[in-house]
Chains A and B, each alone.
Chain A
Amino acid sequence: MDSHAVATGALYGYRNQKSSSTNNFFESSVTLETFLFYTLGAVSVGSALMMVTRRSPVMSALYLILNFFALGGLYLSLHAQFIAFIQILVYAGAIMVLFVFVIMLLNLGDEKKLNERFSWKKIVGAGLSFGVLMELIFVFAFSKANLPPSHFEKATDIGTVENIGMQLFTTFLFPFEVTSVLLLAAIVGAVVLAKKKLN
């Protein structure tokens, strides 16, 4: 494996069948892992569905928080501790505040108005989404795709803060610096669009 691939593995941390079978030295961990995966997966899918079907935007926002927490748990079970921590801190913490502010800002008085009329576009959209979903399920379930093996001795090492720090400030130094420009553009954009009085 070349060093570059190792680097990317460290930043994003993936897991595959091969690496998960290496931890069978402790049989119960596999069952706990699968149990956690299915529970958290069910919670995240369920809360996402609840979020899009609620009439009240505040209820939707609350289900979104639940969804963020479930995703955080999933990241944790994939040994991506840092991402899990950021998920809770930034998404469930800060971005959720923004969502609530937007709901308050728009002040959608009559929430029933959100319930749109039935239209052919919805059917086409639902059909296309279902098609893509089936395609993805088919590809993941039946393709004999061989995923690249994990580059780490211990799967727990992938997502640690130390590993991410080392990769982010060496291999991915340039993207990291570009991020600052992206944030700067966002700051200017926020002021241009949302500042009440511009002199």
Chain B
Amino acid sequence: MGITFSDITSSAPLVSLVLFSFLTLIVESWGKDKPVLSYWVSLLGVGVSLALSFGHLGAGIPVFGGMLLQGGFAGYCNLIFLSSAFLTILLSRGYLERMECHRGEFYILILFSTVGMMLMAGALNLITVFLGIELMSVSLYVLAGFMRKKVRSNESALKYFLLGAFATGFLLYGIALIYGTSGTTDLVAISKLFPQLSHNPIFLVGCGLLVVAFSFKIAAVPFHMWAPDVYEGAPTTVSGFMSTGAKAAAFATFLLVFVRVFDIAGTSLSQVIAVIAAASMIVGNVTAVAQTNVKRMLAYSSIAHAGYMLSGIAAANVEGETGILFYLLAYTFVNVGAFGIVSIMERQDDKKLNFEDYEGLSARRPALAVLMTIFMFSLAGIPPFAGFFGKYYVFLAAVKANLTWLAILGVLTSLISVYYYLRLVVLMYFREGDADLDHSVPRRSMIALAIAAISIVVLGLYPSLIVDLTRSFFKI
């Protein structure tokens, strides 16, 4: 055994990103106080990896001795993570410069975190799942506390770290029990043993613990408590990255382990996940209505969206899988964009983060107002934007899996969500106010927002592009 040359070529996006993260680290160490250099190297690294990923969408193949899946499903998920990282890096530079904490380590940690996500999406072994989650989380803990002089940022990092470490405990205990009952950590081997293992109570307890750990990472109720505080305190662009890349990675692992490997369709695990999904939709949407801070509102909205997507996992059919994959891509562009605009509006010391700070924005900053409107419409699931089709696919999957009640609940709670998303739009367009910026928006930030908005519109107009692609992953 060992690592062969073909392993490395088959996982070119991952390997190139790792090498670029090393290069960024070297550049950052060598030239002191030149974060701009790290910015360019990291952007180039993500770009190269993104370009390579497009060539790795064919059939998935196991590499590195069956530890990792590359191509296919994993290749598609890599596109999501890399897009999220790319837009986050573009949006972060201006934001960090204004917040006076522009340092090159930010980009290094974004790259490491993305590597962790790519490992999670391709994990074919529970050890790889664990290492991927840890690599992603350790980087995110630090990123959440990146503004070292801000109390909120420190609080955010500490909360995320303590609760995240606890969730890791659940994950490891779950892995230990699954290993103890199956005798292997290899997911392919476990999938062959699953029919007989699914009646073993110890194995089921292990699966339950994994559900807890994954639900924590996707911020689903009742494991969501950290999300509002962490998203609020973390640097805004990092919140955007966490709510998209990290969430997508956790969903990818969730999907891989519970639908691909364990095949939970119609089992008690599917019911457990359906209940978590329902709770997330209700709690997320109802609490979001009461928020006055836009970052907190987006945090609760991200909990609600986790609930919608979880109904696709509870359904555990091909429609659910393709629906989640489409949803994740759409949601990534929408939420990175929404958090990006919030980061542009934000001033030093957490100023200008409330709803009323957006009053009358359309008069002075029409471009920002239009972009925010697109993002809010898409989050609310109003056609023809991509968010609508994401919801449509996962709810359709739920109906096909005889979880009609979940789909109905999803539609009803979506109606609640329209209120708080459109409230922001109404404030921007129909309310007199003096919302404005005291700085010019860097062109790179506008480019990032434009990419996000265009992607949402294109995905909304041609959803079949992605759905046909993702369906081809599951013809195994």
Q: Which residues of A contact B (CB under 8 A)?
A: 1-2, 4-5, 8-9, 12, 14, 135-136, 139-140, 143, 145, 147-148, 151, 170-175, 177-179, 181-182, 184-186, 188-189, 191-193, 198-199
Contact = CB atoms under 8 A, between A and B. Distances in A.
A140 B131 CA distance: 28
Contacts of A145: 181, 200-203
Nearest to B186: A4
Nearest to A169: B2
B131 A185 contact: no
- Chain A interface secondary structure, helix, strand, loop or mixed? helix
A148 B200 CA distance: 12
A188 B65 contact: no
A1 B103 contact: no
B65 A139 contact: no
B109 A188 contact: yes
A51 to B, nearest CB: 16
Nearest to A140: B202
B341 to A, nearest CB: 27
Contact of A8 (B128, B141, B185, B201): B185
B198 interface: no
Given A189-B139, A191-B105, A193-B148, A174 B205 contact: no
A181 B127 CA distance: 15
Q: Which of B64, B125, B184 has the most CB of A within 10 A?
A: B184
Nearest to B21: A181
Interface residues of B, number: 51
Given A143-B201, A175-B67, A188-B112, A1 B183 contact: yes
Interface of B: 1-3, 18, 21, 25, 32-33, 64-68, 103, 105, 108-109, 112-113, 115-116, 119, 125, 127-128, 131-132, 134-135, 138-139, 141-142, 145-146, 148, 157, 179-186, 189, 200-203, 205
Given A185-B138, A188-B108, A139 B202 contact: yes
B201 A170 contact: no
Contacts of B33: 199
Contact of A185 (B66, B109, B180): B109
Nearest to A16: B180
Contacts of B186: 4-5, 8
A106 to B, nearest CB: 12
Given A8-B186, A182-B134, A189-B109, A136 B142 contact: no
A174 B181 contact: no
B26 to A, nearest CB: 12
Contacts of A189: 109, 138-139, 141-142
A185 B25 CA distance: 10
Contact of A182 (B66, B138, B145): B138
Contacts of A5: 183-184, 186, 189
A17 to B, nearest CB: 12
A193 B182 CA distance: 40
A8 B183 contact: yes
B361 to A, nearest CB: 34
A135 B205 contact: yes
Nearest to B199: A145
A192 B109 contact: yes
21 contacts: A4-B66, A5-B189, A8-B184, A9-B183, A12-B179, A135-B205, A145-B202, A172-B67, A174-B64, A175-B125, A175-B131, A182-B131, A182-B138, A184-B25, A186-B138, A188-B25, A189-B142, A191-B105, A192-B103, A192-B148, A199-B33
A70 B284 CA distance: 44
Given A4-B189, A182-B134, A182-B135, A199 B32 contact: yes
A140 to B, nearest CB: 7
Nearest to B188: A4
Q: Which of B108, B113, B201 has the most CB of A within 10 A?
A: B201
